[in-house]
Amino acid sequence: MRLSAARTARVTTPAAVGLGLLALAARVPSMWAVLITAGVGVVGLLAPVNAPSTPRPLRPTSAANWLTAVALGLIAMLIAARLPGLLGMAPHGAGRIVVRAAPAAIAASVAAAVAEEAFFRRLVYGWLASSWGVAVAICGSAVAFAAIHVPVYGFAVLPIDTAAGLLLGWQRWMTGGWSASGLTHVAANLIAEGVIP
């Protein structure tokens, strides 16, 4: 008996999501972390995702939607990067570790952003949207995204990374794909690395 693609996806996609989340949560800052993240990104690109049972509401995807989503995402990330300083707080996440990054660290940061978006906004979002709808997909992928950063950066990153995940999930919904959230995530990582002031 041959299994259909949809039936195969019902088993392999949740398994890929679970194993990917475990691998990302177990990373520690090292070259292995970059390889693990890249591997999870490849899984995010290759794992099957069923189409949502209900089509995306509102309007069809357009260049204007994509550009609007990217512009709002970049503005939000620039504001978020400056907010701790304006409030007299210490920086969070990578901002407290790196002032100016070496080229290898920058390349790793860009690769990590693209890999995480392939995993969270293509695979996790796609799986949740096809099973439980867009609202669960946006919120679920955001919470998972924030949670995998806790082992490296601590619980203090949960609010900002959850907010970032919600923004990236909204971009995924708004554009119908993960390229806008990928570009925004790359920019956010470059801001954190000190490349974009």
Measure Cα distances from 126 to 5, 10, 16, 45, 67 in Å.
15, 12, 12, 11, 21
Per-residue pLDDT, 2: 60
Residue 97 has pLDDT above 90, yes or no: no
Helix axes 31-46, 103-117, angle to 10 degrees: 30
Whole-angstrom distance, CA of residue 197 vs CA of residue 189: 11
- For the segment 106-119, the average pLDDT, to the nearest whole number, is 95
Residue 170 has pLDDT above 60, yes or no: yes
Residue 96 has pLDDT above 80, yes or no: no
- For the segment 140-167, the average pLDDT, to the nearest whole number, is 94
Of the chain, the percentage scoring pLDDT greater than 70 comes to 85
Per-residue pLDDT, 81: 85
Helix axes 179-192, 158-175, angle to 10 degrees: 150
Whole-angstrom distance, CA of residue 131 vs CA of residue 110: 30
Q: What's the pTM? A: 0.87
By three-state DSSP, how is residue 13 classified? helix
Among left, alpha and beta (phi > 0; psi -120 to 50; other), residue 18 is alpha
Residue 101 has pLDDT above 70, yes or no: no
Highest average pLDDT, of 15-24, 81-90, 180-189, comes from 180-189
* Other Cβ atoms within 10 Å of 193 Cβ, number: 21
194, HSE (Cβ side, Cα atoms, 13 Å) = 12
Residue with tokens 């090292």: 30
* Other Cβ atoms within 10 Å of 33 Cβ, number: 17
* Other Cβ atoms within 10 Å of 81 Cβ, number: 19
Of the chain, the percentage scoring pLDDT greater than 90 comes to 59
What is the tens place of the pLDDT at every residue in 35-85?
A: 999 999 999 999 988 766 555 554 567 899 999 999 999 999 999 888 777
